[in-house]
Chain A
Amino acid sequence: MANGHVPSEELAGTPGAIEVPPPPAALETTAGYDFLRGIWRENPVLVQLLGLCPALAVTNTVRNSLAMGLATFFVLLGSSTLVSLFKGVIPKEVRIASFILIIATFVTITDMVLAAVVPDTHKALGAFIALIVVNCMILGRQEAFASKRPVGRAVLDAIGVGVGFLVAMLMIGSIRELLGYGSLFRETPLEVEVLGPNFEPWIIMILPPGGFLTLGFILLAFGWWRGRKPSATPRVRRWPHGVADRRAA
């Protein structure tokens, strides 16, 4: 890990970090940063725009979003842990094949467990559970992070990214369900009618276009929030290597 930091010349040329003073010697990412990065600053859906297929397809209710988010979380955590554990024995020529094999195993297990425990949800998610295999967010974390870091960090990173994905799914899912059905947590014991019987549901929100609309508006709000005052956002300067890290990935 000693050679894991970004050379300072690299940063000087990075557009987003022009006025950054030379980074301290220990620019190695901290454990807390590895964990938090995936949740907010590099949220897989809202910033990196990865994993959009399930984020658009199955987020029409909170229940489906939650199930999909948890399934993806489990697969990501399991895969990152195993990849990091076995990084010493996987030759680089077959690393992608090995990663996919590990991911696919966890997806198959998740698929069967969901079918056995929550059959209705499993049916509602349909083919999208199996499609977690090709979620580039998961493979991306293996290639860019888990295969190069110790197990502890890989686990932290997987939890962070998994939670970030779950948060994004729940954001989209709750907005779509609220406007599309007027309720929250429908088809679960927690179901609440939020908007009352006089609310005319926006059917489009539970159809595929509603996913695009909701994600578009969330990205707009998120982008505006992140970019409103670049120089006054301390996070950019505190973690300048995040930019370089993403380019490396």
Chain B
Amino acid sequence: MHDPSGHQHPSSGLGGRSEVPAWRLVSTLAAAGGMAGLAIVFVFQWAQPRIEAHRAAALRVAIQEVLGAPETSSTIWVHDGALTAELPAGADSTELDRVYLGWNAEGEPLGYAIAGELPGYQDFIRLLFGYDAQAGLVIGMKVLEHKETPGLGDKIEKDTVWLAEFDGAVPPLVGVTANRATGDEHEVDMISGATISSRTVINIINERLEVLRPLLDAFEPPPAPAPPVAAPVEGEAEESDTTEVAPEDGDAGAETTDTANAGQGGD
């Protein structure tokens, strides 16, 4: 190490020693790694509940968006190979697959919001899409999380033309490049320059519907729950408050949420 300012002799270390034994190199790095890990664990424990709460609030907003602002919404669980609005007592909800059912002001079901994820170009893409089971149509899509390339892949979240493709598409979806489109109802025009990201979004929707469609077809939507005046259960309405601990991963809207409450999370 040539140092023209003459701070140190070339053979000396940071502390002015020479010839450091190998075990010291290893133990230095091991100790530094251990301390780093410890610090990260502490911060993680502090940050994780807050991050989950934000994620839950974002999911509530997304449900509002893909279902076209339902008056009420509720979680429908996949339990024992069928959908159910009421879990049997003692069932653990954390590991169960779920969809979110929304009703309009007249109490008619608007459709189901379904979350899904698959690896995209860089990391998992998590999204939520709306599905109208009666008409058999996809009624909207919103990307919840992604780490796609800025300027190319991130258009799956922002490109309004692309997002509009999902309003009224008939599953199973088929991704086509824009100049090959034939106007078929299954077709979705992919974003040029973001083929892998676009295809992943389409695959997520197709895979989720392949699994859930038979269940959704066999499921009779329950009537809309009572107005949310009496609905909040166990203080769930406070969930959007960041100081509260979110119940569990992705469990947003697990209980009935009213429109006004869900809207707050998006500000």
A87 partner residues in chain B, CB cutoff 8 A: 14-15
A4 partner residues in chain B, CB cutoff 8 A: 5, 7
B1-49 residues with Cβ-Cβ distance < 8 A to A are 1, 3-8, 12-15, 17, 20, 24-25, 28-29, 32-33, 36, 39-40, 43-44, 46-48
Contacts known (A109-B40, A119-B58); A92 close to B14, Cβ less than 8 A: yes
A148 partner residues in chain B, CB cutoff 8 A: 7-8, 14
**Interface status of B223 (Cβ within 8 A of chain A):** no
Contacts known (A101-B33, A113-B47, A116-B51); A3 close to B7, Cβ less than 8 A: yes
B151 partner residues in chain A, CB cutoff 8 A: 207-208
- Complex: chain A residue closest to B267, CB-CB: A120
A117 vs B48: C-alpha distance in the bound complex, in angstroms?
11
* Contact indicator per residue, chain A 1-17, by CB within 8 Å of chain B (1) or not (0): 00111110010000000
In the assembled complex, the CB of A55 is this many whole angstroms from the nearest CB of chain B, namely 14
In the assembled complex, the CB of B101 is this many whole angstroms from the nearest CB of chain A, namely 26
* Contact indicator per residue, chain A 97-122, by CB within 8 Å of chain B (1) or not (0): 11001101100110011011101000
- Complex: chain A residue closest to B35, CB-CB: A105
A90 partner residues in chain B, CB cutoff 8 A: 13-15, 28
**Interface status of B155 (Cβ within 8 A of chain A):** no
**Interface status of B150 (Cβ within 8 A of chain A):** yes
- Complex: chain B residue closest to A114, CB-CB: B47
B12 partner residues in chain A, CB cutoff 8 A: 92
The answer to whether A116 and B39 touch across the interface, beta carbons within 8 angstroms, is no
A101 partner residues in chain B, CB cutoff 8 A: 29, 32-33, 36
B4 partner residues in chain A, CB cutoff 8 A: 6, 10, 244, 247-248
A91 partner residues in chain B, CB cutoff 8 A: 13-15, 17, 20, 24-25, 28
The one of B5, B6, B40, B51 in contact with A115, judged by C-beta atoms closer than 8 angstroms, is B51
Contacts known (A3-B7, A126-B150); A117 close to B28, Cβ less than 8 A: no
Contacts known (A93-B20, A115-B51); A102 close to B32, Cβ less than 8 A: yes
Chain A interface residue count, Cβ-Cβ cutoff 8 angstroms = 40
The one of B32, B46, B51, B122 in contact with A98, judged by C-beta atoms closer than 8 angstroms, is B32
In the assembled complex, the CB of B22 is this many whole angstroms from the nearest CB of chain A, namely 9
The answer to whether B29 and A98 touch across the interface, beta carbons within 8 angstroms, is yes
A57 vs B150: C-alpha distance in the bound complex, in angstroms?
9
A248 vs B24: C-alpha distance in the bound complex, in angstroms?
28
In the assembled complex, the CB of B14 is this many whole angstroms from the nearest CB of chain A, namely 5
B32 partner residues in chain A, CB cutoff 8 A: 98, 101-102
B13 partner residues in chain A, CB cutoff 8 A: 90-93, 95
The answer to whether A105 and B5 touch across the interface, beta carbons within 8 angstroms, is no
The answer to whether B147 and A97 touch across the interface, beta carbons within 8 angstroms, is no
Of the four ranges (under 10, 10 to 19, 20 to 34, 35 or more), the interface on chain B belongs to: 35 or more
Query: A94, A102, A117 — which one has the most chain B CB atoms within 10 A of its CB?
Result: A94
The answer to whether B40 and A105 touch across the interface, beta carbons within 8 angstroms, is yes
B39-70 residues with Cβ-Cβ distance < 8 A to A are 39-40, 43-44, 46-48, 50-51, 54, 58
B17 partner residues in chain A, CB cutoff 8 A: 91
In the assembled complex, the CB of A145 is this many whole angstroms from the nearest CB of chain B, namely 11
A5 partner residues in chain B, CB cutoff 8 A: 5
A89 partner residues in chain B, CB cutoff 8 A: 15, 28
B150 partner residues in chain A, CB cutoff 8 A: 57, 126-127
A112 vs B51: C-alpha distance in the bound complex, in angstroms?
8
Contacts known (A57-B150, A90-B28); A147 close to B14, Cβ less than 8 A: yes
The answer to whether B25 and A94 touch across the interface, beta carbons within 8 angstroms, is yes
**Interface status of A22 (Cβ within 8 A of chain B):** no
A115 vs B25: C-alpha distance in the bound complex, in angstroms?
34
- Complex: chain B residue closest to A109, CB-CB: B43
A116 vs B122: C-alpha distance in the bound complex, in angstroms?
23
**Interface status of A245 (Cβ within 8 A of chain B):** yes
Query: B1, B15, B17, B39 — which one has the most chain A CB atoms within 10 A of its CB?
Result: B15
**Interface status of A234 (Cβ within 8 A of chain B):** no
B25 partner residues in chain A, CB cutoff 8 A: 91, 93-94
For the complex of A and B, list the 10 residue pairs with the smallest distance between their C-beta atoms, beginning with the closest. A92-B13, A116-B50, A105-B36, A116-B47, A91-B20, A112-B47, A88-B15, A119-B54, A87-B14, A248-B5
Interchain residue pairs with CB less than 8 A apart (21)? A87-B14, A90-B13, A91-B13, A91-B14, A92-B12, A92-B13, A93-B13, A94-B25, A101-B32, A101-B33, A102-B32, A108-B40, A109-B43, A112-B43, A113-B47, A115-B50, A115-B54, A126-B154, A148-B14, A244-B4, A245-B5
